[in-house]
Structure 1
Amino acid sequence: MRVWALAAALGIAIPAAKAEKLATIVVEPTPVADEIVTDAVVESARQTDIAAQVSGRITGLFVKAGDRVGAGQKLLAVDQRAADQQLAAVQAQAAAAQAEQEVARRELERTQILYDRKYVSQAALDRAKARYQTASSMRLSRQADAGAAAVGPTLHNIVAPYAGIVAGVDVELGSMAMPGMPLVALFDPAALRAVATVPQSRAAALRTDLPVRIELPDVPGAQHWQTAAAVTVLPVTDPLSDSVKVRLALPASAGEAARPGMFARAHFLAGSPRPRLMVPLAAMIRRTEVTAVYIVANDGSTSLRQVRPGETRAGQIEILAGLSAGERIALDPLAAARH
């Protein structure tokens, strides 16, 4: 390495015989659009605060924060003894109304026979018909009451409306639930999105027809960069910040690493692409304040040249000065240094 540093300082070319084995690339202008980078926050498109519809004591708590649940899975239970008793009473009333209708039906049949034989008057027949119709209406009313009462016990068993992850549980076993009181927070990890805030002055330049990259700084590895599955620019402007919200749908696989509330960065392309000299980041070498690349000459010799870098895009960096189109550079600076 000392020999390499000295050769670089003196501008001495490295022998061609060894440079020929290096992996190289010819630098050519590449059309690249400008980029707008804004802060974003990850949220779930399906996030629900499940609230109680009835009052009662919490008698069962079956999940905790972080649990994965399926659609229809029971989350907690509210004391339903009063609801069960009310249902039993209404069902008994419905049974009594059905019995009354049956009695009225039989009485109407007997009255009809007597009327046909001229033993009773038309008024007696009309009264029997009226009693039957009243009993029928009462039976329908009691059956409707029983159906409504049957819903009551189901409201005491709180279930997940969709498959997801429990974000939080706001009650404890034995606490009192009231109508409208939040009980469990649930979100769908397969329906995440990043919401970016873009200044109104730059919103018109966004190219929503081109891929939008989403950076998750706190997520390492392959999940660090995501590509938006869909882009939606909301049609309203915040008057306080003079900005617009842009929703960027994350791929379903992002739910394995991303979580609601996580910080993100949105990388939008803007304007028309213009030619730029882009080189792989791996080809760059940095020493204190010096950024350089290895130039490979036509005869195979290599020399270190300082360059001025620009923006970084998806593993490549723009060269603003120090490099010309058509020049060949080494892809592996460490291998070039050993030659």
Structure 2
Amino acid sequence: MPAAHAEKLATLVVQPTPVADELVTDAVVESARQTNIAAQVAGRITGLFVKTGDRVNAGQKLLAVDQRAADQQLAAVRAQAAAAQAELDVARRELERTQFLFDRKYVSQAALDRAKARYQSAFSMTAARQADAGAAAVGPSLHNIAAPYAATIASVDVELGSMAMPGMPLVALFDPAALRAVATVPQSRATALRTDLPVRIELPDVPGAQHWQTAASVTVLPVTDSLSDSVKVRLALPASAGVAARPGMFARAHFVVGAPRPRLMVPLAAVVRRTEVTAVYVVANDGSASLRQVRPGETRADQVEILAGLSAGERIALDPLAAAKH
């Protein structure tokens, strides 16, 4: 191969790299913060302002339930509270007048007792009516349902015009910034986990830079499943993972176990796979590139271990397509 071509070919000198063993287990993504909103009052759905997949802010209105009956009840209760307050005002003035006359011995003790009893009865009635009015005033807030926090709408279980009843599911939502992967680890391997070291989370269905995530925190649940003899490990995903990850998504957790040992690691992009043959382009001192079969081992992110066919100190081409043209 001409020297000019050799200068343009990007290469890498393969050297042993300390890499620890890994335990790879299946996991599933779930939300640590999810809410199923149910109706608290009966009524027809008169407003539906979101759909599945929408992002909403805290306090954003999700739907509305017909509140005409609640408004009528509120008006009636407030009228009763006003009437009770008027009765209390009359009873107070009567008690003051009777007390004034009693102090001057113009009326009997019995008359004063009757005035006090009337006042106490009116006072109790007014307090009860005001409490009823306060409770009725909450009604409109139950008919206008808003998001409790910034979230993604997971499902909308009603349609515009349908009838809602107390306890009926309306909307389900989750916080995309509070996702976690829950991995299942055999009990026999749980003690070998290095939770003090970063745990990598692979999202096979997510392309690009979001394919690999690093757990923000690791929690090994202190309960063993007696049927599967395994433990659950919660791996908090970074808040940025919510852009691509979703609850229910399949994942793999890569736990570090044991101490690092030297391995020959090469970039995945430098490996050529043709049917059953795995190879790399080895670049000689004169710049010529030849295809050599290798035996691959474990893959780590964008790196793959070479178990046989390549020695430390040899140079490989980073771009197989460019090497094939030389």
Fold in common (TM above 0.5) = yes
**Aligned match of 2:131:** 144
SS at match of 1:136: helix
Q: Is the 8 A contact 1:206 1:270 kept in 2?
A: yes
> What is the one-letter code of the residue matched to 1:188?
D
Gaps of 5+ in 2: none
Query: Match for 1:323: what amino acid?
Result: L
- CA-CA distance at 1:182 after TM superposition: 0.7
Structure 1 runs not aligned, ≥5 long: 1-13
TM-score (normalised: structure 1): 0.85
- Mapping for residues 42-53 of structure 1, pairs under 5 Å: 42-53=29-40
Q: What's 1:57 paired with?
A: 44
Give the structure 1 partner of residue 143 of structure 2.
Answer: 156
Change (3 A) 1:75 1:338: closer
Q: What is the deviation of 1:331?
A: 3.2
Where does 1:215-294 land on structure 2 (aligned, <5 Å)? 215-294=202-281
The correspondence for 1:124, drawn from 111, 118, 121, is 111
* Aligned twin of 1:9: none
How many residues get paired?
A: 326
The equivalences for 1:1-339 within 5 A come to: 19=6, 22-296=9-283, 304-339=291-326
CA distance in 1, matches of 2:60, 2:320: 57
Matched-pair contact (CA < 8 Å) for 1:19–1:336: no
Matched AA of 1:250 = L
Task: Determine helix, strand or coil for the equivalent of 2:124.
Answer: helix
Once the two structures are superposed, residues 50-88 of structure 1 have per-residue CA deviations (whole angstroms, 9 ceiling, x without a partner) of 111122232332222222222222222223222222222
Task: Return the letter of the residue paired with 1:104.
Answer: A
Equivalent residues of 1:17, 1:300 under 8 A apart: no
SS of structure 1 residue aligned to 2:306 = strand
> Does the CA-based 8 Å contact 1:58-1:78 persist in structure 2?
yes
Q: Secondary structure at the match of 1:190?
A: coil
- Please tell me the residue identity of whatever aligns with 1:96: A
RMSD: 2.5
Q: 1:179, 1:317 → 2: CA distance?
A: 57
Aligned mates of 1:184, 1:336 — CA distance in 2: 56
Alpha carbons of structure 1 residues 318 and 108: separation in structure 2 relative to 1, 3 Å: same
Distance 1:16 1:201 in 2: 56
The change in CA–CA distance for 1:303 and 1:154 in structure 2 (over 3 A counts) is closer
- Rounded to whole Å, the distance in 2 between the matches of 1:303 and 1:157 is 71
**Percent of aligned pairs with the same residue?**
88
1:335 CA displacement? 4.1
Please give the secondary structure, in 1, of the residue aligned with 2:138.
Answer: helix
1:286 to partner: Cα distance = 3.7
**Residue range with higher mean Cα deviation, 327-336 or 269-278:** 327-336
| Alignment TM-score, normalising by the size of structure 2 | 0.88
Distance 2:295 2:189 in 1: 27
Aligned residue for 1:171, secondary structure, equals coil
Gap change, CA 1:155 and 1:31, over 3 Å in 2: same
